[in-house]
Amino acid sequence: MKIRLISTLLSLFILSGGLNLSVLNAASHEDHGSDEGTELSGHMEEISKVFRRVRRQIRDASKNANSAELVGEMLKHAKASLELKPVWTMDQPKSEQADFVAGFKKNMKEFIGMLEDLQAAFQAGDNDKAAAVVAKLRDHQKKGHDAYKKPDDD
């Protein structure tokens, strides 16, 4: 009887310790202001994933209809991102946070405009224009990440 009680208590202790560790792990990621796991990062990851697919098939005119659909997916996530603000906002001085968010939104609106141009190029069958827009999008993406994505601690 005592062995059963001790094993039950030990099991509960181990289980509760495991739960506490997961809570501490989640809290530690939250404290560092990590972009990982936020709604915005989810949208950005989807944009990046779809963008890679578009870049792989950009020269294949037979896939233009699919590419236009994929760009539509990117647009959906980009437009949803307009309603959010980067985690790095909280690290900015209070007096600059509104300007930081306004700059992010302006940047995203420019990105959305380029995505619309890309979608129109695919729909028109103009793969050369699509390739030029993709190059501009890549530059815009890099500049946007430099300006609004918190640098990694590594």
Mean pLDDT by 10 residues, the chain (154 residues): 64 55 41 64 94 95 97 97 92 94 95 97 97 95 89 69
Of the candidates 144, 141, 146, 127, the one whose C-alpha atom is nearest the C-alpha of residue 51 is 141
Q: Taking the CB of residue 131, how many other CB atoms lie within 10 A of it?
A: 14
pLDDT of residue 150: 84
DSSP letter at 88? G
pTM listed for this prediction: 0.74
CA distance 112 to 103: 14
Spatial distance between the Cα atoms of 23 and 13, rounded to a whole number of angstroms:
15
Measured N-to-C along each axis, helices 127-148 and 94-124 cross at an angle, to the nearest 10 degrees, of 170
Q: Say what the pLDDT of residue 151 is.
A: 84
Contact 153, 112 (CB under 8 A): no
